[in-house]
Amino acid sequence: MILPFVIVIVFVIVLIFARRNAPTRDCRWREDRAGDKGALRKYHCVACGAEAYRSEGPPDRCLKGLDTPRL
């Protein structure tokens, strides 16, 4: 009777850890100090080409489609 509950709990835990860093899995952010703007650091993704300005560390997710204008 306990076995189905254990299986469900293990399945949920595996799902949580498998999706934990999925939004940034392919992105590799590099700091570009030449492009800094005041207190904001410029970060460039080597994988998708996105650029971001942040004050505390590199972005935690992919920003690939954010600067693309939509028609």
Q: Which residue has the higher pLDDT, 62 or 41?
A: 41
C-alpha separations of 64 from 14, 16, 27, 51 in Å: 27, 24, 9, 8
pLDDT (tens digit per residue) in 23-54: 656 788 899 889 888 899 999 988 888 888 99
CA distance 64 to 48: 6
Average pLDDT score, the chain:
83
Percent of the chain at pLDDT exceeding 70:
83
CA distance 63 to 65: 6
Domain ranges of the chain: 24-71
CA distance 45 to 22: 16
Does the pTM exceed 0.75? no
Is residue 47 within 8 A of residue 24, CB to CB? The reply is no
